[in-house]
Chain A
């Protein structure tokens, strides 16, 4: 039985090597995506366009506005005069945030009163809207701390520290809070869910389109032999792809990598078995290469991008999102990859993830085996 699977694997390998352009693309394309993301593209939200209506024009209001000028998260684009103007700037997208400072701002603060500042945010990109509000909150808190400190000094504060209750924040795993450090490992997960399944999704449907599937039907080769024989060389390609990306990210990008390369490699191999299996399953179920590619894009590629937690924690998605996240292998592999790059530590915390990947692999191949009927029509 094993011999027949190996024979198919040999044939697939030969076919793969006959199209070096294609095979080359399978390595070059993921690398180019990674280089682009690692070097050029930034997913940090910075330099948001902010406009100010300063109706007070006092020393205090200028101090507050300076908080926005000096923050890397904002870029002050205009000083406006009216609310109507502000609405227009937000509508046309020239400003994402407008800060509206009331005329009695400075006077009321000097009288030790509370002052409300209007913040208008463009909500058409909701997550950017929330990020904007968070950044405004940060600038306002800083200003409030300044105010409080000044007030305390004025009132003879003799506490040992500048504020009565002090927070000390330390950031672990990615101390500089750069998105590159988590996006590039995240892209490793996504890229391995893009190209390997696309390669394997054509394997059976192509034979069907060309009519060569009849040779397989007529031969004594079992369904297992077909699946295993076709999967084997492509799992190898996927794993090589992983090694290349891993190497480039660590040596070329000098990304932080503190974990075990062995653990990561083992998980990557298991993940490759899953992704190739998913492609094969799609290949068994479709009738044309085009349909297989589209299905792969929709079932494998897009969910890995949307639900695996590459941009934000899975825990922050809503119930439907969390449910879909639990169904796809990318989510389980993502934890292992991020852990290996950023956190380190042993294999023990990731045992459930590896188990989930194994279950997924078994399920995918078993379904493909069931659906691969050796019959004509």
Chain B
């Protein structure tokens, strides 16, 4: 029986290695794609494009505007009329306009100055951050200007100042995070797709019957289909973490790579089982891919990588726990970035393991029913 299994596993491997363009694409997935994605999505306030309408043209207004500085803001232009402000925001050239009225300087001395900020709210997270930052700029300016107001010069004002300290990534380098996230996404997608394709191919070519009349049990067929995926993808994941995430981006990897590798194997096993389960339902590779994506995107958005789980409603938070991706993302960042061991991540590991075994059993059962 072991010889039969070995032959089948060999067949699955050789089928995978025969498709050279596909291997090249797989190579790109774990190198070039990870590298470029390191430069993608960033929701922080960085080079936020602003336009100014300074009708005051005074020392006071220039002093205020000079506080909208890099790296948070980027001045993309000065305009001279309300109409131009509207046009610049409409075209999306600037996301924020600062409008200073003509009597600004005189009013600063009298303590009655006002200025206007118009914010493009169409990207709400960044707009919220920009608003918070400007409120603090305006406040700081207010406090300093009090010195110039009659009767308040030279006095001390009670204020608090936040002294931030950032753990694990002191300069908040986004590439560390986003390159690793891309590795996780590739493991998820490719784990599912390769397994699904191995099964659908047999159905499309009508060779399932060959396998069915063979003396192999369905569960053995299943295991043989999983073998190449579970062997190769985790190696590619670890290689990509070492080569690109750590190698190219100098991301400090603090945790145990052995632990990471072992759990990645279990994770890929879970995702590949899910892929096989979908392939049992789908008749063509196209159908399988549609269903994969229907599952992939919600899982990815619920993974906690984009929004923290606590921001979701109770229903979605619970639904997220049913997704292996959620546990794996939490596990991966904890182990690799924070250097946490099993004592911290055992719940995630247990989650991946339980979901993996469940997915395997459900998929194998569906397949056995199909066979009969």
CB within 8 Å of B: which residues of A?
Answer: 19, 21-22, 25-26, 29, 32-33, 36-37, 40-49, 64, 75, 87, 90-93, 96, 105, 108-131, 133-138, 140-141, 143-145, 147-148, 151, 155-157, 159-161, 163-179, 181-182, 194-195, 198-199, 202, 285-291, 293-295, 297-298, 301-303, 306-307, 309, 311-313, 315-318, 320-321, 324, 335, 338-339, 342-345, 349
B198 nearest CB neighbor, chain A only = A290
**In the bound complex, do residue B142 and residue A298 qualify as a contact, i.e. CB atoms below 8 Å apart?**
no
**In the bound complex, do residue A321 and residue B42 qualify as a contact, i.e. CB atoms below 8 Å apart?**
yes
**In the bound complex, do residue A44 and residue B168 qualify as a contact, i.e. CB atoms below 8 Å apart?**
no
Q: A117-B163, A289-B285, A291-B25 are in contact. Are A42 and B311 (CB under 8 A)?
A: yes
List B260-316 residues whose CB lies under 8 Å from chain A.
283-287, 289-291, 293-294, 297-298, 301-302, 305-308, 310-313, 315-316
Bound CA–CA A156/B155 (angstroms)? 13
**In the bound complex, do residue A138 and residue B132 qualify as a contact, i.e. CB atoms below 8 Å apart?**
yes
Q: A22-B284, A295-B25 are in contact. Are A182 and B123 (CB under 8 A)?
A: yes
**In the bound complex, do residue B89 and residue A133 qualify as a contact, i.e. CB atoms below 8 Å apart?**
no
Q: A164-B149, A172-B121, A288-B22 are in contact. List 17 more A-B contacts (CB 8 A).
A: A33-B298, A37-B301, A41-B302, A46-B311, A75-B310, A125-B308, A144-B143, A159-B110, A159-B111, A165-B138, A168-B115, A172-B118, A293-B285, A313-B126, A316-B126, A321-B42, A343-B89
Contact of A125 among B39, B170, B177, B291 (CB under 8 A): B177
List the B side residues contacting A313 at CB < 8 Å: 48-49, 95, 123, 126
Q: Is B164 an interface residue (CB 8 A)?
A: yes
**In the bound complex, do residue B44 and residue A127 qualify as a contact, i.e. CB atoms below 8 Å apart?**
yes
Number of interface residues of B (CB under 8 A): 128
Q: How far is the CB of B85 from chain A (nearest CB, A)?
A: 10
Contact of A343 among B122, B142, B305 (CB under 8 A): B122
**In the bound complex, do residue B40 and residue A45 qualify as a contact, i.e. CB atoms below 8 Å apart?**
no
Q: How far is the CB of A196 from chain B (nearest CB, A)?
A: 12
Bound CA–CA A6/B262 (angstroms)? 54
Contact stretch, chosen from B5-13, B212-220, B334-342, B355-363: B334-342
Q: A22-B284, A137-B162, A290-B285 are in contact. Are A123 and B29 (CB under 8 A)?
A: no
List the B side residues contacting A33 at CB < 8 Å: 294, 297-298
List the A side residues contacting B235 at CB < 8 Å: none
